[in-house]
């Protein structure tokens, strides 16, 4: 869950590294550091806090070097401080590494090294790996061999860059379970955990595979397996531009990404939602189309916000296609020996395509013989490459740690998938066309919600001092309640819970008093009357009701303290609309409380460790 970058070429390296760390900071922002090979020596600067703290240190130095590595950290082993910040070195300070991932057997290796007289400065697992590489180098006098040998002795995950004054003309990169991308330009190379740090310099990249190592010099690179077998590298072109990585006048990335949703939904629909024909075309699934005809069961697996989209997907697919669906936490899936049949299809959902738990679930499903598909945002990501086929959501870069536009794009893709599967079975052409026509109108309806942002901001200001929130919904909107609560927790640090509305009286109702805001998704559908009854239960206990309601609903005015209207749509499509006011409310509450919206404490964007 850290950001790493390395550069070798002809530019002044400290500027490249600092700019790269700023692009990567959403991946971790507890501390930052860099290592530059200056006049034959490793020069290391590192500092707890945000990248700008490191930048202040750099501004006092005069570096001319054109090779270096850097890191922005999300702490796993050891608290965030100067000592635990990366890079870490061997005992001779001749080899430096930056590392994303976890070395699971670091403690036993550390004990072995201590018994041989090696010493340690930090609490991190990464320093253990650095010292191990140094110990092996003393015997073999070859950096590549030392790295490969050390990595053969560790268990866990890593995206790793190694720089050494012993062999000052190269950077060694290695990957197992944690992403690394090699950017290729004329007489220069940039290696990073994320393409956002590369696009400023080149759009030509190579994605390292698991258990692959790259040896990069000024004018060439070589990729190999950990067993020293050369591999063939395929160069890809990034579908990314710098403008997508800027705030473009918005105060925060999160707000920008909320407002981008009408456009990102249209991007998800483009070429797939064929309104005139009344059909869905998902080209990424062409190779597995026949498997869907015979599928016995679908298993959707994901984490966090993506898990909430999977829950909506379950409702959609079972309703429209009459296929049994199970939704699994990816973090639990791999450890419970799941029962998977040969005619099951497992669909992994992940914004980044790098989520460690979801990637592990993919591998577990593949090992059990299932057809495994991916719904991801990032092209070329690990899950996209590990699955048999899949669908890109085309939401563009999402920099805010709290996911917004990726969630609605996931819902859009899952809705199209449900329609496609329904048409293979019992969904009529007339009914499908009705849903498709309405789905095409959703982006414009989202724009109407965004035009009402000032009203939502006023509600947020009124309730921002509350200590607890309860979010309630039924049917399709129960997962929206979960997502609304998660957004508030993530960025404002207010305790919030999401529940099915009918479950409130089985426990959570004990929490309700005059100080408890309760957010209801109370849109007009077949269970609207039931939701009104649940609202009455809250009102009887003096709870404050904030209702997300259907436009022109006059009845709800008698039930709610605060009303946020959304345009009328089909019940199955309400989640895409209903979640946006909840995103805005969480955002404005966070701003009122002075929280760091884009970089909330203890969180990182891409969870690449277990």
- Sequence-separated (6 or more) residues with CB below 8 Å from residue 123: 77, 78, 79, 83, 84
- How far apart, in whole angstroms, are the C-alpha atoms of residue 326 and residue 299? 5
Residue closest to 297 by CA, chosen among 252, 343, 259: 343
Residue closest to 472 by CA, chosen among 463, 464, 481, 480: 481
- DSSP structure string for 287-305: GGHHHHHT--EEEEEE-HH
Task: Answer for the pair 336, 361: CB distance below 8 angstroms, yes or no.
Answer: no
Task: Answer for the pair 534, 472: CB distance below 8 angstroms, yes or no.
Answer: yes
- How far apart, in whole angstroms, are the C-alpha atoms of residue 329 and residue 309? 12
**Three-state secondary-structure class, residue 265:** helix
- Both tokens of 440, joined, read 């095409």
- How far apart, in whole angstroms, are the C-alpha atoms of residue 29 and residue 103? 20
- Both tokens of 487, joined, read 């957004």
- How far apart, in whole angstroms, are the C-alpha atoms of residue 580 and residue 175? 37
Cis peptide before 87 (omega within 30 of 0): yes
The dihedral sign for the CA sequence 388, 318, 531, 456: positive
Task: Answer for the pair 231, 196: CB distance below 8 angstroms, yes or no.
Answer: no
- How far apart, in whole angstroms, are the C-alpha atoms of residue 250 and residue 587? 13
Residue spans of beta strands (DSSP E) within 319-478: 325-329, 344-350, 371-376, 389-392, 468-473
Active site residues: 2, 605
- Sequence-separated (6 or more) residues with CB below 8 Å from residue 447: 262
**Three-state secondary-structure class, residue 380:** coil
- How far apart, in whole angstroms, are the C-alpha atoms of residue 478 and residue 500? 5
């Amino acid at each position: 869950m850290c950001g790493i970058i390395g550069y070798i070429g002809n530019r002044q390296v400290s500027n490249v590294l600092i700019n790269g760390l700023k692009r990567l900071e959403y991946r971790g922002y507890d501390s930052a550091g860099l290592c530059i090979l200056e006049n034959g020596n490793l020069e290391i600067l590192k500092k707890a806090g945000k990248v700008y703290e490191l930048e202040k240190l750099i501004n006092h130095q005069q570096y001319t070097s054109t090779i270096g590595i850097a890191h922005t950290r999300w702490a796993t082993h050891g608290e965030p401080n100067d000592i635990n910040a990366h890079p870490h070195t061997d005992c001779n300070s001749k080899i430096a590494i930056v590392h994303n991932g976890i070395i699971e057997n670091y403690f036993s290796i550390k004990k072995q090294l201590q018994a041989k007289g090696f010493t340690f400065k930090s609490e991190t697992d990464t320093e253990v790996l650095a010292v191990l590489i140094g110990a092996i180098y003393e015997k073999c006098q070859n950096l590549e061999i030392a790295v490969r040998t050390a990595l053969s002795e560790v268990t866990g995950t890593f995206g790793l860059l190694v720089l050494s004054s012993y062999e000052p003309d190269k950077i060694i990169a290695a990957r197992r379970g944690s992403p690394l991308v090699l950017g290729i330009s004329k007489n220069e190379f940039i290696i990073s955990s994320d393409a956002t740090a590369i696009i400023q310099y080149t759009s030509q990249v190579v994605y390292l595979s698991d258990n692959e190592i790259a040896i990069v010099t000024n004018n060439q690179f070589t990729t190999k397996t950990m067993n020293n077998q050369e591999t063939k590298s395929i160069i890809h072109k990034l579908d990314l531009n710098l403008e997508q990585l800027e705030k473009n006048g918005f105060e925060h990335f999160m707000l920008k990404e909320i407002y981008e949703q009408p456009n990102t939904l249209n991007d998800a629909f483009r070429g797939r939602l064929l309104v005139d024909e009344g059909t869905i075309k998902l080209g990424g699934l062409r190779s597995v189309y026949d498997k869907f005809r015979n599928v016995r069961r679908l298993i959707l697996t994901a984490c966090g916000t993506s898990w909430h989209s999977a829950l909506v997907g379950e409702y959609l697919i079972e309703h429209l296609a009459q296929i049994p669906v199970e939704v699994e936490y990816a973090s639990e899936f791999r450890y419970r020996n799941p029962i998977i049949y040969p005619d099951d299809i497992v669909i992994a959902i992940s914004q980044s395509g790098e989520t460690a738990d979801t990637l592990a679930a993919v591998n577990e499903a593949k090992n059990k013989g299932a057809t495994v598909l991916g719904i991801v945002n990032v092209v070329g990501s690990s899950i996209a490459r590990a699955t048999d086929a899949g669908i890109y959501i085309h939401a563009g870069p999402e920099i805010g740690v709290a996911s917004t536009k990726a969630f609605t794009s996931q819902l859009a893709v899952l809705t199209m998938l449900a329609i496609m599967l329904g048409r293979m079975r019992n969904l009529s052409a007339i009914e499908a066309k009705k849903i498709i026509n309405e789905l095409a109108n959703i982006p414009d309806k989202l724009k109407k919600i965004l035009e009402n942002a000032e009203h939502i901001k006023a509600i947020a200001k009124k309730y921002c001092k509350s200590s607890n929130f309860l979010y309630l919904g039924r049917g399709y909107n129960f997962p929206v309640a979960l997502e609304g609560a998660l957004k508030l927790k993530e960025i404002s640090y207010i305790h919030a819970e999401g529940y099915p509305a009918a479950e409130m009286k089985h426990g959570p109702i004990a929490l309700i008093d005059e100080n408890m805001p309760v957010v209801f998704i109370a849109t007009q559908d077949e269970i609207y009357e039931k939701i009104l009854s649940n609202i009455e239960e809250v009102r009887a206990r003096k709870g404050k009701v904030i209702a997300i309601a259907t436009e022109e609903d006059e009845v709800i005015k008698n039930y709610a303290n605060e009303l946020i209207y959304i345009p009328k749509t089909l019940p199955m499509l309400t989640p895409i609309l209903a979640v946006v006011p909840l995103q805005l409310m969480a955002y404005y509450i966070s701003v009122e409380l002075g929280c760091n919206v884009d970089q909330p404490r203890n969180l990182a964007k891409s969870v690449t460790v277990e």
